[in-house]
Structure 1
């Protein structure tokens, strides 16, 4: 568990060496095999005992994983499996890999064959999570431009998962979580100039409800304390720096409080993430991408996890990209990948406990 920081309690909920309760293994999709994903999953397996990870298996890429492990000096035993359940009995001694699909890649140089493996791995892992054969899915980082060249139509993996699960894109909510902070961006990959027009009462209320339900179900936080930021500097300062707080954000907060949600705000974003403030909320719902991601990447860069809320399956991912520039050079930190695997196991375990209690 991460150490306390400036008096604020860490948000991690598991201890190294204590594996989460799961009855099915986690499914790992490799991401782009020319990036750092495969080597970090190999490192995570090597650190599985100290990290307290639930059993997981990779979908495809036996040779990719072996090469990635060699690049880090890891002795990685790999065993092919034909069904996910086999991973439970084999994980202690070898990394289970499902299927024969593979690619010959050069680290740092993505190509169509690697993209095809990444898409296959993502597709199969998602299907197995949906069927319950996998307890959760942990996705490696992809190169969206390469995937688009082979017919990948969605903007990213989150939208792909939403489509596969029959969930509207807007209801698949991205949360960034680390030992010290959780944040959710209300608007994500849009130009900053578009944000004011996209910030509506309906969007704030809908995402806050999804966040509250997900934190109760997957993180055991009920009621989850949600701090909602303002859009403008100093949260508008009573309308002198913008009126979105008065006309849009505050009314949404009032409506959510009337429903019984533990919501506060609008908070000035420049002060909300100070150490003496972070213990007052469980998650910050922020108005735009950088307002949410700058603090989490500053505080928890090597342990940040991207969690998709609002899906019928558990999905996590390390909060970093393919890092082609350092792939295969034993420079990338496995911290975020290990954190994503641990969090997936914890969330899947909580769902299982709730199902058994129902």
Structure 2
């Protein structure tokens, strides 16, 4: 197995990158284990104040990069990857030096990648976080991270925080890493940005050992979870304001309006009921008094409710700028009718003479009634339309 793995690492042009900080009790054991498979090892000493430097001096066959001060695991990984790329490597395996990972699991990664037709993968070691031997704080941090990673990417991962990974560093070379991701949150950034450039995220099983007698963990439950959550919020904003709109218009431009509507709106694989709810959501939010936030809210809710984001987004554009005066007029008229106020306006008199803020009550009530009733009407109509198209498509392929 060792001989086979050595050959695989050479064939894959893969090295091992080890970030380390004050792990003098376990560093030698990890290095000895890794060196069974390869001497292409890059250790990034992140400003350790213990005997780490002395231990590394005993391994002249490895590359040791010493940092003058401690900056964090993410910072060390970025330095290690940059150096590995300068040495011409295409892949890099990372594992922690605190003793929790077993170097003899390296073959799990090389076998998986060698047997896969797709080499464009980021492979994460699955620690089986439901195991009773896993520290509660590590399991909690992983659950938080995994939940938010799914919110951003849609990926259902088992272990988003495992540091035992195989990175396609050459394929990820163009990624611009955030300066703020210096600690454990970098591993979340790597998953999200790899996914955004169409790198597959996969798992292989690994063993894990949490020995409180010798393991020194630098994970700070409160602050590191807070940093991960902050990063995810940033990614959600980027996704809502940039990624989804960019992909939407890119697809629209590529296909053309007619083909786009036929394939992505009318003939999507979603059920008519799901598409009708998407229309209703878009209409409701588009006519609601949430000016300036329609797009963000409709995409967020479509993601949360697992509806069709394209249809919901298109439907919400009922409140595009040219239609705003008409939407305001209708909302006001409906509000006056509900409140029993017998005052009516034409579009011309409304836009010239009406003070919306003085009649805010009428507008708010009217917009809520109008948005709700319109969502119901258009939702039912679209359900009938989508059902008809679905039957038509089934008949065509029968």
Q: TM-score, normalised by structure 1?
A: 0.27
- Bigger helix fraction: 2
- Bigger strand fraction: 1
Q: TM-score, normalised by structure 2?
A: 0.25
